[in-house]
Amino acid sequence: MNMYNNLPHLTDITDPLLTQALQHKLNNKTKPLGSLGRLEDLAIQLGQILGTQSPVINQPQMVVFAADHGLAARGVSAFPSDVTWQMVENFLAGGAAISVLARQHNLALTVVDCGVKHDFLQGLPAGATRPGLQVRKSAWGTGDSSRGPAMTQTECAQAVAQGQTLVRELPGNALLLGEMGIGNTSAASLLLAKLTGLDIARCTGAGTGLDAQAVQRKTAVLREVLVQHARVRAPLDVLAAMGGLEIATMVGAVLQAALERRVVVVDGFIATSAVLVAHALQPLVLQCCVFAHRSGERGHEFMLQHLGVQALLDMGLRLGEGSGAALAWPLLQSACAILRDMASFASAGVSEKTPEAKALA
């Protein structure tokens, strides 16, 4: 029995006529050809995703996926696992970086408990909820992947399905990915090494702030994990083995968002690891993904290279939480506004390039 038989099947959204119309519209704006650089490429991508020459992004959803990792007990992080649930509380209280940025940019913020080892509803009446929090646990954290699979196949399948259901229930046409989970840079590094064939030493960085010696110890632990799961090959089996309930939930969310032709704004290293898995399953998922920034975490550049994509920003960020996605958000708004609102040469009564210059072009 295939536990993943409800995964979306993506089709090519490329519309050559729409692409031509979008390019023609941009070329006739009151500016030299191509002078807005990559903003024009972004505008065309957004028009393609949303299927229109005048794209409008409505009700953008910033979703932070949170979970704990059993591998953290091996000392792969500079912080204890309790920081995961403490930061979730910080998100809900509005004090975290992503809370500030979401407020600044009017992004609806939802925190999803995908597998945190903490009961956020403890002491509340049965059936009670907390504003901004969704509890969708598939397990109370993952197992130690150096000693066995981080997740059972059932737990992994449930997490992926939870991500699909979550997106189906969210409004709007844009999903911004964030995450929180002590130990999740290790899971992302493992996914990168296993899915691309890169040596784990090239995939492993400082995470939450390890020094050089600690990074070496972390790398040695991750090498143990790879040996433990050397025979695992299929993308979802790799995901289950290497862990990340929040990453698995993001995989389902990304696939569902792409199926619904929502714009998916991908944050940094951890969020991109979820796209890496989704891409291994459905390569066309990239058509709906906008990569917000190139992380300061060393493996992220290799992920971007493997996927053949370029990020919008490069600011040395390595916080996670969706902070880079929120910072890139105004660029998406600007790209849409240029397509919709900027005047053409004809409508503004501005002279175009001279016939002689056109002939030489």
pTM comes to 0.95
Q: Domain range spanning residue 92?
A: 61-330
134 and 159, same domain (yes or no): yes
pLDDT computed for residue 127 by the predictor? 87
The answer to whether the beta carbons of residues 120 and 85 sit under 8 Å apart is yes
Angle between helix 184-196 and 212-228 (nearest 10): 60
Q: Could you give phi then psi for residue 212, rounded to 5 degrees?
A: -60, -40
Residue 205 confidence (pLDDT): 86
146 with 21, same domain: the answer is: no
Both 143 and 247 in one domain: the answer is yes
* Residue 139 shares a structural domain with residue 31: no
- Residue 48 has what pLDDT? 98
Angstrom distance (rounded) from CA 193 to CA 176? 25
pLDDT at 359: 57
pLDDT in tens, the chain (361 residues): 567 778 999 999 999 999 999 999 999 999 999 999 999 999 999 999 999 999 999 999 999 999 999 999 998 888 899 999 999 999 999 999 999 999 999 999 999 999 999 999 999 999 899 999 999 999 999 999 999 999 999 999 999 999 999 999 999 999 999 999 999 999 999 999 999 999 999 999 887 788 899 889 999 999 999 999 999 999 999 999 998 999 999 999 999 999 999 999 999 999 999 999 999 999 999 999 999 999 999 999 999 999 999 999 999 999 999 999 999 999 999 999 999 999 998 888 887 766 666 655 5
Which tokens hold the place of 16? 């050559």
Whether residues 99 and 178 share a domain: the answer is yes
Q: Are residues 28 and 148 in the same domain?
A: no
Residues catalogued as catalytic: 321
Same domain, 291 and 259: yes
pLDDT computed for residue 183 by the predictor: 94
Q: According to the model, what pLDDT value does residue 125 have? A: 93
**HEC-encoded secondary structure of the chain:** CCCCCCCCCCCCCCCHHHHHHHHHHHHCECCCCCCCCHHHHHHHHHHHHHCCCCCCCCCCEEEEEEECCHHHHHCCCCCCCHHHHHHHHHHHHCCCHHHHHHHHCCCEEEEEEEECCCCCCCCCCCCCCCCCEEECCCCCCCCCCCCCCCCCHHHHHHHHHHHHHHHHHCCCCEEEEEEECCCHHHHHHHHHHHHHCCCHHHHCCCCCCCCHHHHHHHHHHHHHHHHHCCCCCCHHHHHHHHCCHHHHHHHHHHHHHHHCCCEEEECCHHHHHHHHHHHHHCHHHHHHEEECECCCCCCHHHHHHHHCCCCCECCCCCCCCCHHHHHHHHHHHHHHHHHHHCCEHHHHCCCCCCHHHHHHC
Identify whether residues 74 and 216 lie together within a single domain. yes
Task: Report the pLDDT value the prediction gives residue 265, as an integer from 0 to 100.
Answer: 98
Q: Provide the CATH number for the domain around residue 82.
A: 3.40.50.10210
Q: How many domains does the chain have?
A: 2
How is the beta sheet containing 61-67 ordered, strand by strand? 133-135, 108-115, 61-67, 174-180, 263-266, 289-291
Residue 26: CATH number of its domain: 1.10.1610.10
Residues 230 and 254 in one domain: yes
Q: Do residues 139 and 287 share a domain?
A: yes
* One domain, residues 97 and 24: no
Task: Tell me if 2 is assigned to some domain.
Answer: no
